Amino acid sequence: MKKTHFDTSMWKEHALNPKECNASTVNWIFLVDLLNFSFWSDIDIDDTGIPHPDRYRVTFQGVEYTGYWSMVAAINRALDEGIAITSPELIASEERLPDHEIERIFRSDTKEPIPLLQDRIRVMREAGRVLTERFGGSFTNCIVQADNSALKLVDIIASNFSSFCDEAEFCGRKVQIYKRAQILVADLWACFENKGYGEFNDIDEITMFADYRVPQALYHFHCLHYSPELHQILENGDLLPNGSPFEVEIRGNAIWAVELIRRRILELIKEDWAAYVAAQEQEEEKEENNENNGQEIEKPKMTTVNAILIDYFIWDFAKEAQQDLSEGERPVKVHRTRSVFY
């Protein structure tokens, strides 16, 4: 992260992400994160990052996309075709936007359809109705109600939109993971660079986004360890039901691992700045003694970090190193859970 100077400005660098920051962008981010779930392929069993030729794929502006980006490409393709798919009023209306038209919007270049299409249609209808009936037809009104609080916005999202209410029971206790609700807030923060609709005074309270890809990378880095029984389940490609003990443990421990990483990085940042200040003082002393050789001291690039940036960084790494994560020195498969929550 130090080498790449990884920060919120990198969010806009992806070709498919919006470059403008306005109310339309807010509704785009809402729809993308509303549908940001379950992209692993039933066909692409090896999951090496070299896509199986038949897995779900979308071509947009001459570029082929799979996984999460295939869904984003399909949304941008629809907008290019003149379909106002980010409009809550439109997606709420079966008359104006029939199911078969949504199916066409998410059409695949291959024989594998987008996973959980009917669930995607269902959550789109629900979200469109909720925004239209309770929030004046725009997610911007949810943001206004949150009053610059990331945690309050997460609560508004999880309380009003059932597909964001990512909860489980573990050892008799309710566990609130809220992966997509939190990544929705995080994407607003990153896109708007903590201004306007993306300004939150408690953004560092957001945790990492517990999915199936980041835990794989955390295992690779020895931040997570799996029991032989769990490792065999993953190797076999067996399904882990949403809410099952193993699945909740993977996600919960991933959240805690990133929190520990965050704390350690903050310690390292503090050490870097202390060393920089000490070096500056030495240079000032040399100047007073006419011993300065004109060497410039490089200022540390990182001033702080939060779980959002760490998650973004690890997810990007996991996608780039997908083959090594699946087949390298410490191989492990992603856990396979079909769910609207991630």
Backbone angles phi, psi at 175, to 5 degrees: -115, 125
Residue linked to tokens 């410490």 = 330
Angle ∠(76,81,85) on CA atoms, nearest 5: 55
Upper half-sphere CA count for residue 301 (Cβ side, 13 Å): 7
Nearest of 315, 300, 305, 302 to residue 264 by alpha carbon? 305
Count Cβ neighbours within 10 Å for each residue of 191-217 and write b for 16 or more, e otherwise. bbeeebbbebeebeebbbbbbbbbbbb
Identify residue 237 by its one-letter amino acid code: G
Handedness of CA 189, 88, 164, 143 (dihedral sign): positive
Q: Which residues pair with 58 in a beta bridge?
A: 65
Q: Position of tokens 């206790």?
A: 173
Q: Are 163 and 341 in contact (CB under 8 A)?
A: yes
Burial (0-12, 13-18, 19+ Cβ within 10 Å), 320: exposed
- Distance, in Å, from the CA atom of 263 to the CA atom of 105, rounded to the nearest integer, reads 43
One-character DSSP codes across 139-183: THHHHHHHTT-HHHHHHHHHHH-GGG--EEEETTEEEE--HHHHH
Catalytically active residues are 211
Helices marked H in the chain:
23-34, 68-80, 88-92, 99-105, 117-134, 140-146, 150-160, 179-191, 213-220, 228-236, 245-288, 307-320, 322-327
SS3 label, residue 188: helix
